Amino acid sequence: MAEIEVIDSSGLLTEEELNEFIRHAGHLEHPREMIIDILRTVQKNHGWVPDSGIELTARILGLTPLEVEEIATFYDKIFRHPVGRHVIHICDSICCWSRGGEELAAHLQQRLQIEFGQTTADGLFTLLPSCCLGGCGKAPGVMIGQTFYGELTPDKVDRLLAELSQEAQE
């Protein structure tokens, strides 16, 4: 335990979050179940999960970095590389496909001047394809951060991008 107390979370977790995770891990019979929780919190604070985030998670839970890494890399909503300020997940599954999802994806790539997996030069947007987002009745849709936007058209998506760019400048 003494070792854990000297963990440096170097901005990946707040002091409070770190202490809460350590306390919680101490109460659980199987602390491993917290892996995704910690990784998601690191990502919320830092935008993505750097190597130091994997190591930090491993130390809190008493695991090896490799054990954390093999979990982190399984999930497509955990980023192991830097991403833009806003990650746009565009749904490419069947309901969105049936209502103009491909056209919307092409429009987004053209508007942002990037391909899937890339980040805009100003670091504002990363574009990623995603499977169904659970908004199938409001197709086509995207998720930005953890907010779903549905019934999109190229015009509506342009307005959304403009709002987010505007926000970033304020």
Partner 1 sequence: MRDTPQLLFKNRRPGETVFMAGYRASGGYEALEKAFRQMSPAELRELVKASALRGRGGAGFPTGVKWTFFPADKPGPKYLVCNCDEMEPGTYKDGELLMADPHQLVEGMIVSAYALQTDVGYIFIRYAYEKQAENLRRAIAEARDAGYIGKDILGSGFDFELHVHGSAGRYILGEETALLNGLEGQRPNPRLKPPFPAVKGLFGRPTTVNNVETIANIPHIINGGAVWFKDLALTADGSGTKLFGLSGHLNRTECFELPVGIPLREVVETYGQGVWQGRKFKACLPGGASTPYLTPEHLDVALDFSTLEAVGSRFGTAGVTVFDDRTCMVAATLNLIRFFARESCGWCTPCRDGLSMVRWLLETIEGGRGRPEHLAMLKEQFHNISGTSFCALAEGAMGPLSGLLTHFEQEIVDHIEKGGCPFRS
* Contact call for residue 105 and partner 1 (CB under 8 A): no
Distance CA 62, CA 5 (A): 13
Examine residue 7 and tell whether it contacts partner 1 (CB under 8 A).
Answer: no
Q: Is 108 in the site for ligand FES (CB under 6 A)?
A: no
Residue 78's contacts (CB-CB under 8 Å, 6 or more residues apart) are 36, 39, 40, 43, 49, 72
In the bound state with partner 1, the residue whose beta carbon lies nearer, of 2 and 137, is 137
Picking from 40, 51, 133, 127, the residue whose alpha carbon sits closest to that of residue 83 is: 127
- Residue 3 is a binding residue for partner 1 (CB under 8 A): no
- From the list partner 1, ligand FES, none, which binds 99 (C-beta under 5 to 8 Å, kind-based)? partner 1
Distances (CA, A) of 113 to 9, 110, 117, 159: 36, 5, 12, 16
Binding segment toward ligand FES, per CB under 6 A, in 51-59, 68-76, 106-114, 130-138? 130-138
Stretch of residues binding ligand FES (CB under 6 A), selected from 4-12, 14-22, 31-39, 128-136:
128-136
What is the C-alpha R_g of the chain?
18
Q: If binding is defined by CB under 6 A, does position 135 make contact with ligand FES?
A: yes
Q: Is residue 91 a contact point for ligand FES (CB under 6 A)?
A: yes
- The interaxial angle of helices 65-72 and 35-46, nearest 10 deg, is 80
**Site residues (CB under 6 A) for ligand FES?**
91, 93-96, 132-136, 139, 141
